Structure 1
Amino acid sequence: MSGNALLKSVCRAMERIAPLRLAEKWDNVGLLLWDLSRIESPTQCSGRDRVLLTIDLTTSVLSEAIAKETSVIVAYHPTIFKGLQSLTLANPLQKSLLTCAAEGISVYSPHTSLDSVWGGINDWLAQGLLANPQDGDIEPLVGQKLHPTTGEAEGAEGRLVTLSQPIDIRELERRIKSHLKLAHLQVGYAEQSEDVAPLRGVRSIAICAGSGGSMLLGKQADVYFTGEMSHHEVLAAVAAGRNVILCGHTNTERGYLTILAERLKKELGSQESKDEGVSSDVEVLVSQKDQHPLQIV
């Protein structure tokens, strides 16, 4: 199959899964790196019908992509976030980008569009808190994002889970550990004062994948659940009577990659993709080298 057909189909399939218009204004999403020579000479990509999914494009993930003869990397976090004034092999990130270009590997990033879209990362986090689908309601935390033509809601920033019945915070911690397959969490318990009534169990949880301090602070919820918050954001939250549960930035995102792989494989197997010349033999792989950069020792 031509690299041109696969790359175009991956971009179109990802757009159907997580429209780039849902990304935050500050974000840098979409096709960030591609090899024009391979697009213009499709035969050069013959036999490399593999797409690799990762949270971060680290040197280990890049080595894995090369070893597996990957044609396209879908890296959740943008490999290029701010404008580059120069490119040098002395910088590890820039070296990875230059290596991708030399190897003919294209890089696509969905980032916050995949957070916001219905059925995306924030919904996946929210669903993991429910004992069953009838156990509570999942709503947008911040205003809905509407389709520019139809006006239908396509997604929203963050999620608010309201449980049907309150649960002990220890049970919530257990559910989060189980859902994210983690042995440990960081938890800040709410300060109690005359102005803040003691919590009689947890009923509402505000959610933001990744780094959620700026989005969560000030929201009405018993618990703030995110990957990371700054020291002063945590202090402000617990002083306001909110419990805080932190899991590590990428730990709130990585588990979704297996779901994304299934959705992308299905989209690439659609009739639309077949009409674009995409082979039914395209492999969509989840990186085995992608991991949280910090370890608990």
Structure 2
Amino acid sequence: MSAPTTSAPFSQAVVRAMQKLYPRELADNSWDNTGLLLEAPFVPSRRQSNTALLTIDLTKAVADEAITLKSSIVIAYHPIIFRGLKTLTLANSQQQSLLRLASHGISVYSPHTAVDAAPGGLGDWLADIVTGTRTSDSESHEPTKGESNEDPFIEKKRPTYTLNHHPSQALLHFPKLPTTSTTTVPHRRQPVIPQSPELASHPGAGMGRIVRFNQPQPLPTLLDRIGKGLNNPKGFPIAIPQDKNISDIEIRSVGICAGSGASLLAGLDVDLLFTGEMDHHAALAAIEKGQVVISLFHSNSERGFLAEVLRGQLEETVQEEWAKVREEGKDNEELKEALAEEDFEIEVSEVDRDPYGIVVLKSEVEKA
């Protein structure tokens, strides 16, 4: 009689922790595909390490990283399986990654929009950035020596070019910041679409966030907060009404959506649309209405959350769930060795990055 097939005990603890933090009920299940997308069989003779690897996108490079780390499970924010599959072959690069991971005993879990909707999740993280909740930066932004209020989109000298990717968040060594701060700008916030029916375990959940400031905020101040909150990326797109200058604009309200926000934020009566991605026509329609649009490149609106928030949440919750799994399996001789190790690691991918980089224009050095 063959032994029952199961996934690695540590992977089970991580899945329990993710479902506790970000229940699938919070996801937009009308189109999204969340949960345990790949459950790799556990082979006691080839045991993986008690390591979970966090990433936004599960690329070939991230799969290589997970295999090198001997991870038990990858938490990939974006689902690598989105639609039904009729085959699994090596001809498809994403399927190839899944097959390789399965062959190494590595499972894959994707939470996606459950993380967006949860209180304390991605929506609130972005709201914390624009309200100063997670920083101690000054609320005012005055030009420093050599800085100018002139239009930053006008390049006055012949440029040279360098391509810059926002670095993987694991390399940025985010400090553990307090969840509240005396510099928080007084405001009210609410979901764009509240969760219905509301989960008793996650009150206040819902898709997107609307922030309404008690006092208007200068747009340059918000740009400063966003830049610092995202660890100073090389740049990000902004669209403003054609009859305005950045220095003249004040923001009373912000609509927020991680990832692609055009459909969720459409028709919202706010001054600023803050998202990861918005198509040309949606942005044009917004500035024609007098709104400002800030987009961060799709996954750069999500990636910092892994290191700054999710890693800490998982370390605490997996600690609880791993203790339960070890207790439940203590009499199972086949799992004895796997359950003996109490320690575990939650790692953030060092190779995960947005597919787009930014070509930065630099003036040529003038001859002396």
Could you state the TM-score of these two structures normalised by the residue count of structure 2? 0.73
Cα gap change, 1:284 to 1:21, in 2 (>3 Å): same
Aligned to 2:297: 248
Give how far 1:45 is off: 5.2
Q: Is the Cα contact below 8 Å between 1:146 and 1:154 reproduced in 2?
A: no
Higher mean alpha-carbon deviation, 134-143 vs 66-75, is at 134-143
Query: Using the alignment, how far apart are the partners of 1:151 and 1:68 within structure 2?
Result: 34
Aligned to 2:146: none
Aligned to 2:222: 172
Between structure 1 and structure 2, the one with the greater Rg is: 2
C-alpha offsets along residues 252-288 of structure 1, whole Å, 9 cap, x if unaligned? 1000001111111111112x43021164311110000
1:147-162 to 2 correspondence within 5 Å? 147=198, 150=200, 153-162=203-212
Q: Is the Cα contact below 8 Å between 1:3 and 1:71 reproduced in 2?
A: no
Query: Using the alignment, how far apart are the partners of 1:20 and 1:192 within structure 2?
Result: 44
Q: Is the Cα contact below 8 Å between 1:19 and 1:113 reproduced in 2?
A: yes
Aligned to 1:291: 353
Aligned to 2:279: 230
Moved >4 Å (runs of 4+): none
SS of alignment partner, residue 358 of structure 2: coil
SS of alignment partner, residue 12 of structure 1: helix
Q: Is the Cα contact below 8 Å between 1:3 and 1:45 reproduced in 2?
A: no
Higher mean alpha-carbon deviation, 182-191 vs 250-259, is at 182-191
Query: Using the alignment, how far apart are the partners of 1:155 and 1:64 within structure 2?
Result: 33
Query: Using the alignment, how far apart are the partners of 1:273 and 1:27 within structure 2?
Result: 28
1:124-203 to 2 correspondence within 5 Å? 124-131=125-132, 132-147=183-198, 150=200, 153-181=203-231, 182-191=233-242, 201-203=250-252
SS of alignment partner, residue 274 of structure 2: strand
Q: Is the Cα contact below 8 Å between 2:48 and 2:72 reproduced in 1?
A: no
Aligned to 1:196: none
Give how far 1:200 is off: 5.4
Cα gap change, 1:28 to 1:263, in 2 (>3 Å): same
SS of alignment partner, residue 310 of structure 2: helix
- Unaligned residue ranges in structure 1 (runs of 5+): 194-198
SS of alignment partner, residue 268 of structure 2: coil
Letter in 1 for 2:62: V
2:15 to 8, 11, 14: 11
Query: Using the alignment, how far apart are the partners of 2:50 and 2:322 within structure 1?
Result: 13
| Percent of residue pairs identical | 40
CA RMSD of aligned residues (A): 2.0
Aligned to 2:311: 261
The alignment of Structure 1 onto Structure 2 pairs a total of residues equal to 285
Matched, 1:32 2:83: no
Instruction: Considering Cα pairs closer than 8 Å and 6+ residues apart, tell me whether 1 or 2 has the greater RCO.
Output: 2
Give how far 1:147 is off: 4.0
Query: Using the alignment, how far apart are the partners of 1:15 and 1:47 within structure 2?
Result: 22
Letter in 1 for 2:208: G
Matched, 1:23 2:27: yes
Matched, 1:220 2:269: yes
Letter in 1 for 2:17: A
Give how far 1:191 is off: 4.7
Query: Using the alignment, how far apart are the partners of 2:24 and 2:47 within structure 1?
Result: 29
Cα gap change, 1:204 to 1:154, in 2 (>3 Å): closer
Aligned to 2:332: none
Q: Is the Cα contact below 8 Å between 2:48 and 2:71 reproduced in 1?
A: no
